[in-house]
Amino acid sequence: MGTSTRTCLKSVPKDLRVLSRSFTSIMLFSSGAFGAISLFGLMSVVSVIGSSCPTANAENAPAFSSLRPLLSSEAALVLKGDVKFDNLTSRWREWHSPSIAAVVQVATKKDVQETVRFAKHFNVSFVARAGGHGATEALANAKNAIQVDFRKLNQVTLNANGETATIGGGATVKQIIDGLAAVGKRAVTGICECVGITAPIMGGGHGWLQGQYGLAADQVVSARLVLTNGDVVTVSNESNKDLFWAIRGAGHNFGLVTEWEYRVHNTKENQWSYEIFIYTQDKLEALYELANSMIKDQPAEAIHWGYIVKVDEIDADHPILWFGIIYDGPTETAREYAKPFHDLEPVMVQAGEGTLHDLAVLTFQDLNGAGCAYGLTSLRYPIGLKSFNVAAMRKVYDHIDETFRKTPEVAGSFFLLEGYSTQAVKAVDAGSTAYPHRNDNLLVTSYVQYQPNSTIDPIAEEYGQTLRNILLQASDDPAHLHAYVNYANGDEPLEAIYGWEKWRLEKLRQLKKQWDPKNKMKYYVPFV
């Protein structure tokens, strides 16, 4: 029932292949300064929310309305059939998404407690929602669930000590960046402006600043959680230490976070510097060999960020290699660092300086960019690596190239190669949090994206799995996949996600018995 209503009302972005046509003109004619346009930036989301769709009839609507008087005046209860419902439940990936019967827009901690208690009483499932970018298989197991919508709990307040901020469980990357910048601060966040902060923290959390300050999870001083029985607990180094350990790597499975006490840092004088290099495929070996050699002493301020993507205007026949050097330092330092990439003779270079927002635009992760568009089917198959196996990268490339020809529906997909610096990540004791992949240097994944089409689904799945498997087989440890939980497709071995050391899953399962004995939180890579 939910599915048909959803399909009818969701937003439909245009085909990415059409959008990429704008890419060359932007690259060629951009003045070098940051424009508001990016590769997929011209994507317009065509809203087809209309009146012709049937109004759903939530069979348990009367029970839901009994929750209303228990909520604060700022909260809202939105049932299926309400004009706002489809907007509130629409997701980055609609495919295999939870089926939602009611949305509770919580505004206070007590709202969360009441909602969880209500769910318990009526034996209804619930899923938390912040940025709506969660896309992992288990989400689809939530049926007729309550969406505990945290988007109103989005405060970003600098604390008196100037060293931490209190951040609401529903805040997005953009809200944090903007809120902190206004008081001269910055913090570790993900790249994409519309993604929530809570899920990344709970799974580790990668971003531009991790080499200098650590993962997002490493920034947490304490957190407030509403447990699945409705109780509230504070977790920190002093209080409920084991749960504090668990929510930094496997947090989606334990409780609902209403707020974080989160480390912040002073902003720097300089802007970020960047150079984006575009290569044709004949440079593939030279490019990833160079990247390998540079990983060895990659400064904490430098990020290597890459895509393999089809841009017809640059190469009508083959995908191109997009490789960015993003640098938190003076332009001269950044240029000096990136010099060797010029020697490989890119077909294009785009260089400039900018803010964190500008970096989001540059990497297509701003509010108007591809990363924030809703409604495509998107599959990810992540793998953490120590370095590039260049021969395997060639195989990956060739398979991408071949698949784009054979199945043009997926030719708007991209392959993402994130090479963040890792100094501060590795400086944290690997056993001190549930995040298991501190030794990886590269985070690689397909984003197999296409207009929803069930004929394509099996092809897309096989494609994504094949690409990952090529890299796994060529890695230093083919028997032990590393898959970042926040990118996980959800069918990986649990050890690949939560760690191969036996004690990790044992400890998580033990803690699960203690903190969520009825396993109410099981819709995001569950391990029970």
Ligand X SMILES: Cc1cc2nc3c(=O)[nH]c(=O)nc-3n(C[C@H](O)[C@H](O)[C@H](O)COP(=O)(O)OP(=O)(O)OC[C@H]3O[C@@H](n4cnc5c(N)ncnc54)[C@H](O)[C@@H]3O)c2cc1C
Summarize as ranges the residues that interact with ligand X (CB under 6 A).
Answer: 92, 127-134, 139, 150, 169, 190-192, 195-196, 198-200, 205-207, 252, 256-257, 365, 371, 486-487, 524
Closer by beta carbon to ligand NAG, 47 or else 423: 47
Q: What beta strand segments (E) does 62-194 contain?
A: 76-79, 100-105, 126-129, 145-149, 156-158, 164-168, 185-186
* Least distance to ligand X, CB of residue 434, Å: 14
418-441 residues labelled b (16+ CB within 10 A) or e (exposed):
bbbbbebbeebeeeebbbbbbebb
Within 8 A by CB and 6+ apart from 440, the residues are 384, 385, 386, 422, 482
CB under 5 to 8 A by kind: which of ligand X, ligand NAG, none does 434 bind?
Answer: none
Instruction: Rule CB under 6 A: say whether 260 interacts with ligand NAG.
Output: no
Query: CA-to-CA distance for 276 and 358, rounded, in angstroms?
Result: 13
* Least distance to ligand NAG, CB of residue 84, Å: 8
CB under 5 to 8 A by kind: which of ligand X, ligand NAG, none does 237 bind?
Answer: ligand NAG
Cβ count within 10 A of residue 312: 14
Rg (CA), the chain: 22
Among 52, 123, 476, 479, binds ligand NAG (CB under 6 A): 123
DSSP state of 97: P
Within 8 A by CB and 6+ apart from 151, the residues are 105, 129, 130, 170
What is the full DSSP assignment across 238-253?
A: SSSHHHHHHTTTSGGG
Contact in structure between 352 and 32 (CB atoms under 8 Å): yes
* Least distance to ligand X, CB of residue 195, Å: 4
∠524-464-282 over CA atoms, to 5°?
Answer: 140
CB under 5 to 8 A by kind: which of ligand X, ligand NAG, none does 252 bind?
Answer: ligand X
* Least distance to ligand NAG, CB of residue 2, Å: 15
Query: CA-to-CA distance for 515 and 508, rounded, in angstroms?
Result: 10
Residue 64 in tokens: 């839901």
- Mark 72-111 with x for binding to ligand NAG (rule: CB under 6 A) and - for no binding: ---------------x--x---------------------
CB under 5 to 8 A by kind: which of ligand NAG, ligand X, none does 191 bind?
Answer: ligand X
Query: CA-to-CA distance for 501 and 245, rounded, in angstroms?
Result: 16
CB under 5 to 8 A by kind: which of ligand NAG, ligand X, none does 302 bind?
Answer: none
Binding positions for ligand NAG, 4-33, rule CB under 6 A:
11
* Least distance to ligand NAG, CB of residue 502, Å: 24
Name the amino acid, one letter, at 273: S
Instruction: Rule CB under 6 A: say whether 47 interacts with ligand NAG.
Output: yes
Query: CA-to-CA distance for 220 and 277, rounded, in angstroms?
Result: 35
DSSP state of 433: S
CA 349 from chain centre, in angstroms, equals 27
Closer by beta carbon to ligand X, 243 or else 257: 257
Stretch that binds ligand NAG, among 67-75, 303-311, 331-339, 449-457 (CB under 6 A): 449-457
* Least distance to ligand X, CB of residue 315, Å: 25
Closer by beta carbon to ligand X, 349 or else 527: 527
Closer by beta carbon to ligand NAG, 255 or else 324: 255
With CA atoms as reference, report the closest residue to 310 among 352, 281, 276, 270: 281
Number of residues that bind ligand NAG (CB under 6 A): 13
Residue 92 in tokens: 């980055």
Contact in structure between 35 and 26 (CB atoms under 8 Å): yes
CB under 5 to 8 A by kind: which of ligand X, ligand NAG, none does 195 bind?
Answer: ligand X
Instruction: Rule CB under 6 A: say whether 455 interacts with ligand NAG.
Output: yes
* Least distance to ligand NAG, CB of residue 182, Å: 22
Binding positions for ligand NAG, 367-426, rule CB under 6 A:
374, 409
Closer by beta carbon to ligand X, 92 or else 279: 92
Closer by beta carbon to ligand X, 284 or else 379: 379
* Least distance to ligand NAG, CB of residue 90, Å: 4
Bridge partners (DSSP) of residue 306 are 323, 417
Query: CA-to-CA distance for 171 and 166, rounded, in angstroms?
Result: 11
Stretch that binds ligand NAG, among 155-163, 330-338, 453-461, 491-499 (CB under 6 A): 453-461
Within 8 A by CB and 6+ apart from 176, the residues are 156, 165, 167, 187, 189, 197
Determine phi and psi for 457, rounding to 5 degrees: -50, -55
Stretch that binds ligand NAG, among 63-71, 355-363, 391-399, 450-458 (CB under 6 A): 450-458
Among 456, 469, 474, 520, binds ligand NAG (CB under 6 A): 456
- Mark 210-229 with x for binding to ligand NAG (rule: CB under 6 A) and - for no binding: -----------x--------
* Least distance to ligand X, CB of residue 130, Å: 3
DSSP state of 380: E
Q: Which residues bind ligand NAG (CB under 6 A)?
A: 11, 47, 87, 90, 123, 221, 237, 374, 409, 451, 453, 455-456
